[in-house]
Structure formats: C-alpha cells, structure tokens
Amino acid sequence: MVRLFERHGAEIFSRRRLTLLGTLKSTYTAERLRDLLQQDELFGGRLLSACKHRVIVPSINYSTGKPVIFKTSHHPNFVGDHRLRLVDIALATSAAPMYFPRHVFENSQYVDGGLYANAPGLLALHEAEKFLGQRADNVWAVSIGTMSSRFTVNPSRNRSGGTWDWGGWFPANAPKRLFGLAISIQESTTQFMLSHRLDQRYIHVDETLTDEKAKAVALDKTDAAAREALLGSASEASKTCLGNPDFRRYLQHAAPAPQFFHTEKSPQ
C-alpha cells in the first residue's frame, strides 16, 4: 500500500476535465486505480476466497440504501462473497462521494464504507462475538488510524448553515467538508466505545494533526508534502508501538489457522 501511494498516488488522484467543480461528475475517475489493482502483483483476478485470513470490508449498497459488509467465508452462513473479485470489493469500499464515481457490480451501485465505518473496529468486535463465539474479554484489537482532520467551526464564520457556511470561500467544498466531518466523528465515536469495551486490550495507532500538518494531509493529497507528513508520522507511530509492551504481545501471538467453509478458485 505504501508503494502504491508513493509511486502512483498522483495517477490515482488525477483530476478529470469538465467536471464543473464536481457538479457534473466526481472529481476523479476510478479507471487508473482499477488498472493498478488489476496488476498481478496486487489483486490481479483473485477472488475474496484467496485471502488467507478472515476479512471484513464495509461498503454501502446505494441501490438499496443499506450498509453491506463483504466477508470471507469464516462462518457457514457466509455464502456468496467469496466468489467476488478483490478488485471490485476494493473499488466498492473506496468510492468516496464527490471524489470517485459509484462502483457498479453485481447489479448494484456501491459507495465508500467509510461513511459509516471509517474505523471498523466495532464491526470486527461484533464479528468476533457473534460469529466466532469469542467473549469480549478474550479480544485484543489494534486500530490503525487515518490521520483524519478534526473538522471544527471557525467562530467568525456565518452561522446560517448554507453552502457558504459549510464550504467557506469555495461553496463547492461543502459536500467534501460534510463527508470529512462524518468520517471524523465516526472514528472518534468508535475509538471511545472500543476503549470502554476492551479497555487495555485496545490499542489505537494514530496522530492528532496540528493545524499546519493538517494543511498538508487530505484524502486526495499525494504531493511531496503529503507523503512526508504521512510517512513521517507512520515512522514515529511505529517506534511508539514497538516500545509498548502491550503491542509487542500482538507480535508474539501466533493465531491458529482460520477455517473457511466455502472456497472458489481464482481464475488464472
């Protein structure tokens, strides 16, 4: 993922022409991302059944208006998802509104699962309890954050609640700011609840952005400043984790091989 970001970030977030500031179509196209993910060294034509570990991937089925979670077949009742292509699942879970077009496959339209599960830790805990038969006191979780900016209001801004209020000097930014606020608050809520449910068995790896660093980092920023901020923060966070005895316990844990109930051979 790091190499993909470093080498191809600018290609993935290459702006489309004639979007009229995002009013006619999304700011970016998913074509280059699809091409990259379809390379053999990434996903190629592999199916979800090729995963060696239990996996859950949140998305939203915009055709039905309901959340969906793509899952490996780690429970007898999980039938069907294992036949889906990893590329389609990746595009479905990353189709952020206003940024990328909706991903269409299996006769449905999908949008970014981050709208309700940008931090999917609660989904993982529910999965362990409900479908794997684990007690919460036997669950340890590591959450890798996204360095999402904390969206706060400028007290001097007008308070009318219109697009000038939400978008600032550039009203077309209003939908993106609302999207950013939604995923930021969702992350904070999940962290709060997991810290209560799991207590010391929950480790959250992230960084609270300073005002200056926040200017360099955004969902669609891939320039040198963004790479420096993200990679530098990741390096410091890794040092902190490796110095944490609780975190080192994770590295020493050898999980038993998962059981999958349905398989499908990926096409050659």
Burial (CB count within 10 angstroms: exposed 0-12, middle 13-18, buried 19+), residue 202: buried
Residue 151 pLDDT > 70: no
pLDDT of residue 58: 98
Instruction: Give the dihedral sign, CA 230/154/176/205.
Output: positive
pLDDT of residue 121: 96
Write the CB contacts of 43 (distance below 8 Å, at least 6 apart in sequence): 37, 85, 86, 87, 90
Of the pLDDT bands very low, low, confident and very high (cuts 50, 70, 90), residue 64 is very high
pTM: 0.89
Q: Where are the domains of the chain?
A: 1-117, 119-152+161-256
pLDDT of residue 168: 72
DSSP labels for 168-184? TTSGGGHHHHHHHHHHH
Choose the most confident range, by mean pLDDT, from 128-137, 235-244, 255-264: 128-137
Among the listed residues 125, 118, 41, the one whose alpha carbon sits nearest the alpha carbon of residue 86: 41
Average pLDDT for the chain: 88
